[in-house]
Amino acid sequence: MSLEEVRREIEERFRRKLKEELEKLEKRGLHEDEACAWLKDKEALEKVRKAFGHATTLGVEVGFPLCGRDRKPGDFVFGEEAEIIIEEGKCPAGAPITGFFHVHPESVEEFWANEYFSTANLFNTFLRGEKGYTDCIGYIKGGKMYVKCYMFPGKEEILRSEVPRLVGKMMELVKRGRGLAEEEIAHEFKYLMQKVEGELHVCVVEVK
């Protein structure tokens, strides 16, 4: 086989591989970074910064719904130290809630779990069951602000994945957590959550 034939063979294999990956994305109905696309808007990013400011000043979770197809930020929602509830009526009239963003007020250095979605976050999003619903958290790590998002792929796809089993394991871990040292809990929870994040195609953006 000549060098030219080898080159053509490599190019053809690359095209086939690229086509396969694009077909996978099309079947999922979303791109891996689509969940973070709303953060490209300057006004949205400014509102995210304000949410971080409110959360760290007040010491409570602060967020807002994402509204409509473009996932524009709605009105601020103020929660408790470790809980926040999505409120209806925080999007403009006629704009459905298509996602939710909230900030964890303590840094990851203060509490390791703030870098991750809680099992309650995941469970509530799964219950909604709306394909394309975007769930996002904000956290501070190493003095920097980050936003982490994923887009719900739909009930059928989630049931075919490993996510339900992994989330179930995390919920069991939380239940029996009192009998474990914090280091043990953290290690196992992080391991399971990173697997979940891989299944959900999580994206992360640093807020500057």
User: β-strands 134-141, 97-103: how paired?
Assistant: parallel
What is the pLDDT, as a whole number, of residue 40?
93
What is the pLDDT, as a whole number, of residue 27?
40
Top pLDDT among 8 and 94 is at: 94
Top pLDDT among 121 and 10 is at: 121
| Local confidence band at 6 (pLDDT 50, 70, 90 cut-offs) | low
What is the pLDDT, as a whole number, of residue 57?
96
What's the CA angle centered on 39, arms 38 and 40, to 5 degrees?
90
Instruction: Please report, rounded to a whole number, the percentage of residues in the chain having pLDDT higher than 90.
Output: 54
| β-sheet bridge partners, residue 99 | 66, 134
> Where does residue 124 rank: exposed (0-12), middle (13-18), buried (19+ CB within 10 A)?
middle
What is the pLDDT, as a whole number, of residue 146?
97
187-196: average pLDDT: 91
Cβ 124 vs Cβ 130: under 8 Å = no
Cβ 121 vs Cβ 113: under 8 Å = no
Reported as a single tens digit per residue, the pLDDT across 25-34 is 444 433 447 8
Cβ 147 vs Cβ 207: under 8 Å = yes
- Quote the pTM value: 0.80
